[in-house]
Chain A
Amino acid sequence: MGQLQKLKSSFASTGIQIRAVILGSREDAQKVKKKAEVEIDIIGDEDGSFIDQFGLRDKQGNPFTGEDVARAAKFLVSSSGQLLWFNYSDNYRVRIQPRELLRITTKALSPM
Chain B
Amino acid sequence: MQFMMHNQNQNKVPRVKSFVIFGVIPFAFIAHIAIGFLAGTQKQWPLIEIIAISAALFVLFRMWIRSRSILGWLGLMNFSAWFLTGVFLWWTQIYSSYPAANSNLRIGDFLSNGPNDFDQIVIDQKLAPSNGETEKPRSGFSRTLPSNEKDLTIDEFSPNNGLKVNSKYDVPSSQLSLSEIDRESALTSSYQATLFVFLRGWW
User: A: which residues have CB within 8 A of B?
Assistant: 1-4, 11-12, 15-26, 28-33, 35-36, 40-47, 49-51, 53-58, 61-64, 69-86, 88-98, 101, 105, 109, 112
Contact = CB atoms under 8 A, between A and B. Distances in A.
Interface of B: 36-37, 39-44, 92, 95-98, 101-120, 128, 138-141, 145, 149, 159-164, 178-179, 182, 186, 189-203
B116 A86 contact: no
Contacts, number: 226
Given A43-B117, A50-B115, A69-B201, A94 B43 contact: yes
A97 B39 contact: yes
Nearest to B92: A93
What does DSSP make chain A's interface, helix, strand, loop or mixed? mixed
Contact of A81 (B92, B107, B163, B178): B163
B192 A78 contact: yes
A74 to B, nearest CB: 5
B40 A4 contact: yes
Given A26-B117, A79-B162, A83-B107, 11 more contacts: A15-B190, A16-B191, A20-B196, A51-B198, A54-B198, A70-B200, A71-B98, A74-B195, A76-B196, A79-B159, A79-B193
What does DSSP make chain B's interface, helix, strand, loop or mixed? loop
A85 B109 CA distance: 10
A28 B199 CA distance: 12
Contact of B116 (A24, A47, A83): A47
